[in-house]
Amino acid sequence: MRKLSEAPASGMSKRGYHHGNLREALINGCLRLIEKRGPTGFTLSEAAREAGVTPAAVYRHFEGREDLIAAAAQQGYALFGDQMEAAYGKGQPSALAAFEATGRAYLAFAREYPGYYISMFESGISINRTPELHQVATRAMGVLEIAAEELSQHIPADKRPPPQMFSAHIWALSHGVVELFARSNPGTQSPFPPEDLLESGIGIYLRGLGLIAPDT
């Protein structure tokens, strides 16, 4: 799991931030607090303290905690979209391999960037909060839909689910594995690694659609 620095950026005192650096420092502080306490476990003043600035400085950039979390989510979706696109790799070497790779990328992102993941999917912040957030979120989740649409071309048209439904099923499966088994939550230990659970779950789903031959 990738951890953000526990201290304000080197050499930046309360008076040393440039405009852009202050905003970035506040978002990084927000992410650290989200990882420690969850999205509702801190105040805007505590986020300011985490970034090493006065509470008044925060309001130059954000009207409240939700705006700060939304900014963190926007960054997270941008990074998530990059990773999903890299995993998909334009459908290579095959539609099936590319589709399975996007599922693994979802799990890897959640484990490596828990602050971003929580701000995106567990904070209650709507992707429609700002046009910019909506744009990056739609692009990121659209990668899975494109992968599903390409793979579904191998299903007879009369049995083919809509790509939005197809991708939503895999998203729900991936999210469930993350929430129940990849976040070290008490009482949710599994004898199988999360990666194996996700791979086998996707395999069962794809066999049901006739995209993978049944085990013999």
Say which CATH number the domain at 179 has: 1.10.357.10
Note the pLDDT of residue 28.
Answer: 94
Q: Which residue has the higher pLDDT, 193 or 72?
A: 72
Note the pLDDT of residue 124.
Answer: 93
Residues 47 and 91 in one domain: no
Domain count, the chain: 2
pTM assigned to the model: 0.82
- Which of 62, 82, 109 delimits the end of a domain? 62
Q: What is the pLDDT averaged over residues 144-169?
A: 88
Q: Is the pLDDT of residue 98 over 50?
A: yes
Note the pLDDT of residue 17.
Answer: 52
Cβ proximity of 14 and 53 under 8 Å: yes
Note the pLDDT of residue 123.
Answer: 93
Q: Which residue has the higher pLDDT, 189 or 160?
A: 160
What confidence tens digit (pLDDT) does each residue in 124-140 have?
999 999 999 999 999 99
Using DSSP's 3-state secondary structure scheme, residue 201 falls into helix
Residues 84 and 56 in one domain: no
Residues 151 and 111 in one domain: yes
How far, in Å, CA of 3 to CA of 185, rounded? Answer: 18
Residues 97 and 172 in one domain: yes
Q: Is the pLDDT of residue 188 over 60?
A: no
Q: What is the pLDDT averaged over residues 196-207?
A: 87
Residues 159 and 188 in one domain: yes
Q: What is the pLDDT averaged over residues 159-174?
A: 88
Percentage of the residues of the chain whose pLDDT score is greater than 90: 43
Q: Please, what is the angle between helix 65-88 and helix 95-112, to 10°?
A: 150
Domain that holds residue 25: 1-62
Confidence of residue 206 (pLDDT cuts 50, 70, 90): confident
Residues 70 and 111 in one domain: yes
Mean pLDDT of the chain: 84
Residues 48 and 140 in one domain: no
Q: Is the pLDDT of residue 185 over 60?
A: no
Residues 180 and 74 in one domain: yes
For 114-117, which contacts have Cβ atoms below 8 Å and span 24 or more sequence positions? 114/1, 114/34, 114/35, 114/183, 115/4, 115/30, 115/31, 115/32, 115/34, 115/35, 115/72, 115/76, 116/31, 116/72, 116/73, 116/75, 116/76, 116/79, 116/80, 117/76, 117/178
Looking at residue 15, the DSSP 8-state letter turns out to be: T
Residues 194 and 118 in one domain: yes
